[in-house]
Amino acid sequence: MIGDFEVKDEDLAGRIAVLETKHGKLETPAFFPVINPLKQEISLEELRSIGFNNFITNSFILKKNGVIPNTIHEKFGDNFVIMTDSGAYQILEYGEIEQTNRDIVSYEAKIRPDIAVFLDIPTGNADDREEAKLSVETTLERGKEVIDIVDQNQDIIWVHPIQGGPFLDLVEYSAKEASRRASYKMLALGSPTVFLEKYKYDTLMDLIYTAKSNVSRGIPFHLFGGGVPHIIPFAVALGVDSFDSASYAIFARDNRYLTGERTYRLEDLEYFPCSCPVCSRYDPSELLEMKSEDRYKLLAIHNLWKIKEEMNRVKQAIKEGRLFEYIHQKAYSHPALYSAFKSMLKYSSYLEKYDPRVKGNVKGVLLFDANSMKRPELLRHSEFMEELSPKKAKALIICGDRLNSPFISDPKVKSIQGKNKDYDLFVALPFYGLVPVMASEAFPLSQFEIPDTLDEITISETVSKIKEILRNKNYAEIKFMECEKSALSHVMSINTTL
The answer to whether the CB of 343 falls within 8 A of the CB of 202 is yes
Q: Three-state DSSP class for 159? A: strand
Q: Rg for the chain (alpha carbons), in Å?
A: 27
Spatial CB neighbours of 386, under 8 Å, sequence gap ≥ 6: 469, 472
Bond preceding residue 33 cis, omega within 30 of 0: no
Handedness of CA 375, 381, 384, 388 (dihedral sign): negative
**Type and span of the H or E element at 126:** none
Whole-angstrom distance, CA of residue 366 vs CA of residue 248: 33
**Which of 332, 372, 382, 352 minimizes the C-alpha distance to 455?**
372
- By annotation, the residues acting in catalysis are 85
Whole-angstrom distance, CA of residue 287 vs CA of residue 309: 22
Give the burial string for 1-26 (b: 16+ CB within 10 Å, else e).
eebebeeebbbbbbbbbebbbbbeeb
Whole-angstrom distance, CA of residue 123 vs CA of residue 3: 27
The answer to whether the CB of 395 falls within 8 A of the CB of 475 is yes
